[in-house]
Structure formats: C-alpha cells, structure tokens
Structure 1
Amino acid sequence: MQDTPGVIGVVLAGGGSRRMGRDKALLEWRGQPLLDHLRARLWAAGCQAVVTSRAAPGCIADLYPDRGPLGGIHAVLRSRPAVDYLVVPVDMPLLSVALLRGLIAAGRDHGHCYYRHSFLPCYLSGDPALPERLAQRLRRGDLALGGFLRALRARALDGGDAAAFLNTNTPEAWRRATALDAAPQTLCKEIGS
C-alpha cells in the first residue's frame, strides 16, 4: 500500500510483561520478534513512519513512567507531532493489515476511532492540544484509555473478528494465539499472513 501522508504508526511496547513472565515484545512470532511483526504490519498498512514506545535505544521512552498505554501515547505525541497516529499494542499478533487499513480509512473520514472489540488499536487525529490533555489525565492518575477515547468522542467501529483482537498478556493467551495462527481455518485467512 502507498504511504498514508501524515500517519505515524505507533507500537506500544513499554509494559512490564508481568503476567506473561517475560518481555512480550521479544516473543517469537512467525520467525521474528513480536515487536518487529507489529512494526511490519504498520508499514504494510501504509504508515509513513513507525515508532516504538519503549524505554530502549531507538525508541521513545515515557515521560510519565508506569502509566500504561496513555503514558506511551503521550510520549509519542510529544516527540513526534504528526497529522494522525495509528496506535497498536505489541501484544496483538493477530491484527491484520486489512483491519489496520480500515482504521486508517475510517480515521481519515471521521477522526478519532477504534474497533468496538477493543480500545486498541486506535486512530488518533493530530491535534496540537492532545499532548496536554493527555498530560493532565496522567498527572491526576486517570489512566483509562477507554475514558480518554470517550472524552475525545472517538467513534467505535464495527468490523473484524473478535479473535483478531486477542491480547496475549499471559502464557495461556499466547498459546491460544499461536494455535489460532497455526490452524487452517477461515479466521487465519481473514486476519492475513
């Protein structure tokens, strides 16, 4: 797909992976680290640039540590002003390029949006006021991504199979995702290779 001007892809990979017991971003998925898999998905969806929210060299570290997804999103918005952002978590390996492209298309038409199955991935329209709005929430300890998206009046979209939004926070969820990926069924064809 051709690059979508102004859209920066963001992989949120800064969590502690406590429930998984090891760094989720480094788990192997289809022969590569999960972080690389998600970055490749964002490039394939047409993002003009892809960045990673993570305390590591070459990544964007949180300005408000231990604040969950909102902390990572805030740090990226502060350091990489853009027209729009497509934000994905590192622990959703079954997200398809088609779902991400659909989110970009809907975001271009309607602004802030996400799929009804999950608050992530989400599309955020560039707005110079967003970083400060996020900072205010972070300072007062309001860390709910859903609450932030509702405050933005983000649109909840229909679409995608619920399994595509499987969040692999635990070893059990990881086993389920790898089983779904290996199974020759319609879902695997739908969520892409």
Structure 2
Amino acid sequence: MTGSWCAVLLAGGRSSRMGTDKAMLPWGDGTLLTHMHDVLRATGADRVIVSGDRPAVDGVPDVLPDTGPMGALAQLAPRLEDGTWLIVPVDMPLLSQVLIDALLATRTTCACVEDHMLPMVLRINDGVRAVMSDIGSRSGRERSLRALQQSLRVEHLPAAPWQRALRNCNTPDDWATLQTLA
C-alpha cells in the first residue's frame, strides 16, 4: 500500500446553490458528513480533520468564513503535519477505495484527477504550507485550489476511469442524480 496518510474533509461551505447544508443531507445510516468521515477512516486515513463548524466530528471552524476551500485549507495548514494528506469534499459519497489508492500512489507534491480540483493529494511540508498560506491570503479567484495546484505543478490522473466516483452535488438536481447512482 502507500503508507501512512491523513485526510481533510471539507465541510464548512455555505451550500448556497443547494439551498440547504450539504453535509447534513441524509446518506445511508447517517449524513454525507458522517458517511464521508467513515469512508476516509475505512480506506486507511490515520487521522481525519474536518474543516467547518461540525462539533459532532470535532470540526475546525473557519476563522475567516466564506473564503472557499482554499481559504479553509490555508487556515488549516499550520495544523497539518508533514506527510501525505488527501483533501476531499463532503459531497462526494461515491468516492472509491480504488480512486483513493490511485491518488495516494502518485509521488508528486500535488495530484488530482483531470478536470476535477478534488479529491486532491498534497504532500505537506514547510514549503507547501508557505504556498498554501500565500494563496489562501489572496482575494477572489486568485485564492483557489486551481492556483494552489498550478503553483505546486499538479499531476493529473486521467478522468475516464473515475467518473462515477467523482460525482458530487452542488444543486438539488445534482443531489437527485447522485441518489439514483447510489
């Protein structure tokens, strides 16, 4: 296998396009939040840090809200010890062990699937933390996962094998489609 790794579960967004808190949508015997947390632990994460005010899973509230996924990652950067981290959104419940393993098997500093910002593997060290902090302090579109990935020279896995696992939900229509695939 790929050795020790940890995960960040991004669950602090406003879910404005969905119209309701995505993390609390029902999935299986719980919610998207509990499901994704369980998936990460079951697939081998040594530790899962939840980004967002989620007391039930010891979530880390955003100090600066409404800064998007990159802002959340930049705020968490000082807490992330050196090593391999998988960054995952809360709204990707079909994420598979096979995709996680493929991402973790990469050896570059940053890897994701082509045309998808997340999930993403980051190999954290002081240099990566500095890049995260810099990009996280920017405003607007300059504070983005895309900017982080470009700065770290991201490796892209081909998307074709992973289309089902990469389904997420941002709107009620996305949610309805995702439920039919489950």
How high is the TM-score relative to the length of structure 1?
0.84
1:191 is matched with none
- 8 A Cα contact 1:3 1:46, kept in partner: no
In the TM superposition, what is the alpha-carbon distance from 1:172 to its structure 2 partner?
Answer: 0.5
Q: Tell me how far apart the structure 2 counterparts of residues 129 and 43 of structure 1 sit (CA, whole Å).
A: 27
1:111 is matched with 109
Cα distance per residue 1:64-92 (max 9 Å; x no partner): 32111111212222123231210000011
**Partner SS state of residue 84, structure 1:** strand
Alignment of 1:91-110 (within 5 A): 91-106=91-106, 109-110=107-108
- 8 A Cα contact 2:49 2:59, kept in partner: yes
Q: Which runs of 5+ in 1 are unaligned?
A: 182-193
Segments ≥4 residues shifted beyond 6 Å:
none
- 8 A Cα contact 1:63 1:71, kept in partner: no
In the TM superposition, what is the alpha-carbon distance from 1:3 to its structure 2 partner?
Answer: 8.8
Cα distance per residue 1:15-54 (max 9 Å; x no partner): 0011111111011111211011111121122111111000
- 8 A Cα contact 2:99 2:162, kept in partner: no
2:98 is aligned with 1:70: no
2:165 is matched with 164
Q: Tell me how far apart the structure 1 counterparts of residues 175 and 165 of structure 2 sit (CA, whole Å).
A: 13
- 8 A Cα contact 1:3 1:47, kept in partner: no
In the TM superposition, what is the alpha-carbon distance from 1:111 to its structure 2 partner?
Answer: 2.9
1:42 is matched with 40
1:154 is matched with 154
In the TM superposition, what is the alpha-carbon distance from 1:164 to its structure 2 partner?
Answer: 2.0
Q: Tell me how far apart the structure 2 counterparts of residues 32 and 124 of structure 1 sit (CA, whole Å).
A: 28
Instruction: Using the aligned pairs only, state the percent identity.
Output: 32
Q: How many correspondences in the alignment?
A: 177
2:138 is matched with 140
Amino acid at match of 1:178: Q
- 8 A Cα contact 1:86 1:121, kept in partner: yes
**Partner SS state of residue 165, structure 2:** helix
**Partner SS state of residue 47, structure 2:** strand
How high is the TM-score relative to the length of structure 2?
0.89
In the TM superposition, what is the alpha-carbon distance from 1:129 to its structure 2 partner?
Answer: 2.5
2:3 is aligned with 1:4: yes
